[in-house]
Structure 1
């Protein structure tokens, strides 16, 4: 006869099995059971190529992994006739948010607080950008960076009621776009005409370089250079005697100047005396002229004496004429005519 089963023992085994299952789940999930996961959607610009962005690609913030890509979709917007490329990402707040609430921007325990935290990060310039994991594989990942100098652009589309985070173009796409613009501008140039003109110009240059006139001119230039060299040699030979003669001439000129300076001093002294004498004579002449001017004045006594003498002379002449005509008048006196 078998012994009855102990219910307590069965219950203990059952509880132990449940505990092992829970521990296994926690171990295999590496603690993900307690992690806080939040999904967002990104709408990349039309020029961004998503080739190489796969599900499971890392999502990083300033180089630190904070999540991964969960879905890469492709939609067609019938209203705008545009191709939309939504990317769903899942962020693990435990890699960013500290439990001690040291960073108020990242701490978000409640839904309302999470929304305010995201708004604050967006205002600070948080934007998603495609980056290359490896140039060999071409795989992409998503990098969040703070670029407050760039404009915040949101598409405003609704995709599965997920909150949208802003994106920006990556540097590679910018370089590709700029390179494409350069290629387009080059393509608009008349390259065939430019090549033809260049070929014609090269042919003309070749004809000029191989022409007979250029060879003759080259020979003439060579001859001129040789004659110039001869002239310089002769000039170099005659330059030393010329400088010697020039130095002698300068010395002779200096001696003549010194002798002239020595001989001219007495002459200048005599000339100075003569000028002084002439100055004295001129002063005396000026005095004589002033005296003569005073004598020649009509009011001067000399002029009055001369007038009286003139009157006396006229009276004497009249008397003489009368005596010549009437000598007897000296005895009888002047009669009536």
Structure 2
């Protein structure tokens, strides 16, 4: 006859099995069943991780978006190179859309990789920053650094998407200082110091030479002469300026008088010029009449030339009349070219 089954033993066995199941899920599932709102990424930092601890905050633009869950060392046996993977866990609820609604982030690793690559292309980088100078603790800061190149290790760590990192500010300062020290080591300081000492020695010899002493004496005399000249100039400058001012005043008065005289002459000459124009018009009319008369006289001369001798009184009269007409014509032409001669006379 079989023994009765102990209910306590059955209950204990069942509870133990459930506990083992939960522990297995936590160990092999990485807590993903309880962290559906978390996304994990891996970052391989080149900087020292001293001060970065598990639980350190992960921030972006000063806002906490997650925490550090793992800080490990990974050794490559082929190259003996040490890598420092840091796993960060990002809270989905930290990101919202333009309308304040929670941003949908896919659980698909391929989608996560595509989204991460898009952000990295825009300059998304991770770097270590110091939480406090007193404690020396570090945190992971995400920011946009499009001018910094994205560097990957291309290592597979737990199948997580890798995010690129850049050196810390301290590392950049240290690198710059080391670069400057390398350049200073290449500078021939001994030769530069020797050349500088030689230059100082030559300057000292030059300053103590007789030529420099004579030059100083000559310069002193020149300066003294300049001081005397300036003193004399200061004494005579005021009278010169006063005379110059009086001369300028006289010149201005002369210019004003000349301007008034020109205006008066212009006002007086204008009527005379108008009368000259009328006289010229009358002379032109007289000239036309004389020309007509001359033509008639020439015709008459041709008619009576056969009856009158060349030395007759009539012929001489006609010649005189012709010469008079020519003189009147010349006078009229001259007045047309020089009307001012009626006022100032011929030759002005």
Question: TM-score, structure 2 length as denominator?
Answer: 0.53
The 1:309–1:205 alpha-carbon spacing in structure 2 relative to 1, beyond 3 Å, is farther
Matched residue, 1:156: 154
Q: What secondary structure, in the 3-state scheme, does the structure 1 residue paired with 2:308 have?
A: helix
Map 1:124-273 → 2, pairs under 5 A: 124-125=119-120, 127-133=125-131, 135=133, 139=136, 141-147=138-144, 149=146, 153-159=151-157, 161-169=158-166, 170-247=168-245, 254=253, 258=257
The 1:156–1:287 alpha-carbon spacing in structure 2 relative to 1, beyond 3 Å, is same
CA RMSD of aligned residues (A): 5.4
Matched residue, 2:43: 42
Whole-Å Cα distance in 1 between the matches of residues 34 and 129 of structure 2? 26
Matched residue, 2:76: 76
Q: What secondary structure, in the 3-state scheme, does the structure 2 residue paired with 1:103 have?
A: coil
Q: State the shift of 1:291 in Å.
A: 3.8
Whole-Å Cα distance in 2 between the matches of residues 299 and 273 of structure 1? 37
The structure with more radius of gyration: 1
The 1:298–1:180 alpha-carbon spacing in structure 2 relative to 1, beyond 3 Å, is farther
The 1:124–1:311 alpha-carbon spacing in structure 2 relative to 1, beyond 3 Å, is closer
The 1:283–1:61 alpha-carbon spacing in structure 2 relative to 1, beyond 3 Å, is same
Whole-Å Cα distance in 2 between the matches of residues 92 and 257 of structure 1? 94
Q: What secondary structure, in the 3-state scheme, does the structure 2 residue paired with 1:309 have?
A: coil
Whole-Å Cα distance in 2 between the matches of residues 256 and 96 of structure 1? 90
Whole-Å Cα distance in 1 between the matches of residues 288 and 90 of structure 2? 130
Deviates more, 1:229-238 or 1:53-62: 53-62
The 1:301–1:67 alpha-carbon spacing in structure 2 relative to 1, beyond 3 Å, is same
Unpaired stretches in structure 1, ≥5 consecutive residues = 1-10, 23-32, 314-337
The 1:200–1:301 alpha-carbon spacing in structure 2 relative to 1, beyond 3 Å, is farther
Q: State the shift of 1:303 in Å.
A: 5.4
CA deviations 1:127-177 (Å, max 9, x no partner) are 44223455567x553404143746654322124x34143131222222322
| Residue pair 1:105, 1:117 contacting (<8 A) in 2 also | no
| Residue pair 2:66, 2:91 contacting (<8 A) in 1 also | yes
The 1:276–1:49 alpha-carbon spacing in structure 2 relative to 1, beyond 3 Å, is same
| Residue pair 2:109, 2:161 contacting (<8 A) in 1 also | no
Q: State the shift of 1:184 in Å.
A: 3.2
Whole-Å Cα distance in 2 between the matches of residues 97 and 244 of structure 1? 86
Unpaired stretches in structure 2, ≥5 consecutive residues = 1-7, 20-30, 313-348
Question: TM-score, structure 1 length as denominator?
Answer: 0.54
Whole-Å Cα distance in 2 between the matches of residues 42 and 270 of structure 1? 105
Whole-Å Cα distance in 2 between the matches of residues 292 and 189 of structure 1? 109
Matched residue, 1:58: 56
| Residue pair 1:35, 1:93 contacting (<8 A) in 2 also | no
Q: How many aligned positions are there?
A: 274
Whole-Å Cα distance in 2 between the matches of residues 273 and 152 of structure 1? 99
